[in-house]
Amino acid sequence: MINSLDFANSIPLLIIGGAGLVVMLLETIFPKSQKGTSETLIFYFSLAAIVAAITFSFGDLTKNFIIYNKFIRVNTLTSVLNIVLLTGIFITVLSSKNYLQQEKINHGEYYSLLMFSLFGMMLMGQANDLIVVFVGLELMSICFYVLAGFMRRKVESNESAIKYFLLGAFLTGFLLLGIAFIYGYTGSTNYTAITDVHPQKDTFYLLGLTLVFIAFIFKTGSFPLQMWIPDVYQGAPTVVTGMMSSVGKTAAFGALISFFSIFALNNIPMVVAMVAILTMLYGNVVALVQSNIKRLLAYSSIAHAGYIMVGFLSINSFSIRAVLFYLVSYILMQSGAFIIISMVEEKTGDNTSKNTLESYKGLGKTNPMLSLLMTIFLFSLAGIPPFAGFWGKYYIFLSAIQVNYLWVAIIGILLSLVGVYYYIKVILYMWFYEPVGETTIAYRSDFSYTAAVISVIGLFAFGVYPDLILRYLRNII
């Protein structure tokens, strides 16, 4: 039975779920002639709701409850994840306003779908039951399919949505079948009940775990199931791509942490090592030859999924902290880089030259501020010291060395050196080349600038003083 204590301990969830509904109502309250007013109101309301949810999540950091009839957990891990996800969506909302206006897709439904997907992601992290993981994942995915196809006039956007939808729906079947097998063996879908059963090795139980793991491999875009990432990320609206590649992946990895620790998947390090190494290899090597910046960052996001996967070699308190630190820095630098891409995006009708690396030539001369921000994001993605991306990689590879997987760490470090090449290439294009053609950085969007600056400040602060994050992670397990 649900009682009032449950509501008191899940305020961030309730705020975000309710905010999605209120946003939909706000859209309908105003007449069509006052569309501008309603969009502005929705924008500020969404920001306020997210800030409120972040504040309450900080209050939940010390709690340790299982609520809603054992369906939801509230503890340090889930609260940290909530804060990370909420911050990512905050940055996304902030950077969306001008982009949506410019592309003439400024509808209130965008924000409500964003809220619903955030609700699903938070549920995935807080789930204490495989059913809630499934429902949360579906809620997130359905919103992502629609958001990917939000630019209905563009063929690429529609292509991206249909590809993502077909593959996602197919992989959902894997997840559901896996849950069914686990239920068949343990007699429950509840994490608490499953850990009480102490499941032994059984063919169907292992089959179930494997199927669920496969579904997560798809959602995180790791090696054997990464082929959807470039096409989907290229076609989707740029701000949505930034959100899917950073916040969406973070949510999937967050759910994977719980899944690994609940089912004690410490005995498959070879499988995880292979997945991680092949993901890093594929992402880094294919990214070398990309000429479209969105595709390049899509492949780089595959590589980053590989780095994070290294943290799953053996789940212990140190590796969980390492993964969470990486996720914090990743969400800031990845969404930050996509904010800059959305600002640079040319507004010419010519779609072929859009987002090419060529359009970054000489950006440092025409718009030094934007180039400086982009340079910082790319340095952080490459893992160059003063920024948080370096510490993320450092802790991840340290966690691999701690469980005696030195060779995985060495391969990872070598592959991340390969990755430095294509990040530096973009930076060289920006600062050391002359601008080609007429580059018109036509609009200055203050909100997007704010979002990018917030990300940079975060990256710099956490890079110089990583204890700002680590102090919250100490209480985990």
Question: CB of 112: closest distance to other proteins in angstroms?
Answer: 7
| Residue 145 within binding range of other proteins, rule CB under 8 A | yes
Question: CB of 156: closest distance to other proteins in angstroms?
Answer: 15
- Give the integer Cα–Cα distance in Å for 230 and 234: 6
Give the DSSP H or E segment for 65.
Answer: strand 65-67
| Residue 151 within binding range of other proteins, rule CB under 8 A | no
Residues in the chain: 477
Question: CB of 249: closest distance to other proteins in angstroms?
Answer: 20
What the block records as the tokens of 155 is 């063929």
Interface with other proteins by CB under 8 A: which range of 69-77, 299-307, 415-423, 439-447?
A: 69-77
Which candidate, 381, 373, 391, 383, places its Cα nearest to that of 464? 391
Contacts with 69 (C-beta within 8 Å, 6 or more apart), sequence order: 1, 2
Q: Which is nearer to other proteins, 68 or 377 (CB)?
A: 68
Interface with other proteins by CB under 8 A: which range of 42-50, 145-153, 424-432, 440-448?
A: 145-153
Q: Which of residues 103-142 bind other proteins (CB under 8 A)?
A: 107, 109, 112-113, 116-117, 119-120, 123, 129, 131-132, 135-136, 138-139, 142
Q: Candidates 122, 143, 381, 454: give the one binding other proteins (CB under 8 A).
A: 143
Query: For other proteins, how many residues bind (rule: CB under 8 A)?
Result: 34
| Residue 161 within binding range of other proteins, rule CB under 8 A | yes
- Give the integer Cα–Cα distance in Å for 210 and 190: 18
- Give the integer Cα–Cα distance in Å for 300 and 61: 32
Q: Which is nearer to other proteins, 78 or 290 (CB)?
A: 78
- Say if residues 327 and 308 touch (Cβ distance below 8 Å): yes
Between strands 65-67 and 72-74, the pairing is: antiparallel
- Give the integer Cα–Cα distance in Å for 424 and 85: 29
What are the two backbone dihedrals, phi and then psi, of residue 385, each rounded to the nearest 5 degrees?
-40, -55
- Say if residues 144 and 92 touch (Cβ distance below 8 Å): no
Q: Which of residues 10-39 bind other proteins (CB under 8 A)?
A: 17, 20-21, 24
Q: Candidates 26, 43, 46, 71: give the one binding other proteins (CB under 8 A).
A: 71
- Say if residues 72 and 128 touch (Cβ distance below 8 Å): yes
Q: Which is nearer to other proteins, 161 or 309 (CB)?
A: 161
- Say if residues 311 and 319 touch (Cβ distance below 8 Å): yes
- Give the integer Cα–Cα distance in Å for 312 and 323: 8
Q: Candidates 86, 93, 122, 146: give the one binding other proteins (CB under 8 A).
A: 146
Interface with other proteins by CB under 8 A: which range of 143-151, 198-206, 259-267, 451-459?
A: 143-151
Q: Give the footprint of other proteins on this chain (CB under 8 A).
A: 1-2, 17, 20-21, 24, 68-69, 71-72, 107, 109, 112-113, 116-117, 119-120, 123, 129, 131-132, 135-136, 138-139, 142-143, 145-146, 149-150, 152, 161
